[in-house]
Structure 1
Amino acid sequence: MSETPKEKVYSPEEIEARLAAELPTWRLEDGWIRRTYRTHSWKGTLMVINTVGHLAEAAWHHPDLTASYAWVEVRLMNHHAKGITDKDFALARKIEEVVMWQPGKEGQGLEGTPEKDLRFAYVRYD
């Protein structure tokens, strides 16, 4: 049985550079890359948690989450490698892409949630 190659663990300087270039809304803190998503309510918070959960399970790479009424913090670090690896950046990009998707901005027939009606408010877009 062959051993899988060890994943590259990025240095703090490399992580900061990649975040700045690829994921400017994410930050490095206490050995994790992190992002806080602001929502309008508990409903939006649960939708973000479920979205992150689906993506993490599909990727087989699981973040730590902390949530409150109107926010969700996502923390990524490769536990097996004991640091930040390409898996963390890849999952962070996919989470960012899906959670921050605004269909009404694409003009492809999907109008998105009404911006002015708070009954349908979801994520607070950056």
Structure 2
Amino acid sequence: MSDKPRVLFVCVHNAGRSQMAAGWLRHLAGDTVEVRSAGSAPAETINPVAVQAMREVGIDITNQQPKLLDSDSVEASDVVVTMGCGDACPYFPGTRYEDWQLTDPAGQPIEVVRAVRDDIRTRIEKLITELAPRPSASS
């Protein structure tokens, strides 16, 4: 069992927003957070415009594959973030749930996807500060 916070990003197709969020969290938090993403109806491949937008900021998500959401992944997570796509997640007490309302990058031009990418980065930076361990009163 790991002491690292475990974060799961969920979107229906697991091909755009959730993959960009997972890429940002891996990039900005390194190995201090366990990162997963999944969807209820995963696409065959990641959105190529999302891949391009992330590549522009030095993050390569081409090796990621859309995955099917299962209740074990949700239960094993400390934080579950849905991406404003109406995906339903199983509920487990003690798990933190957030819904980030984000534009769907599917079929959007690169300019729109860049704005989504940058919005996700801001949200990830805030999430990282919330996940950071707090000093104990005895230290």
Fold shared per TM-score above 0.5:
no
Calculate the TM-score normalised by the size of structure 2.
0.30
Calculate the TM-score normalised by the size of structure 1.
0.32
* Bigger Cα Rg: 1
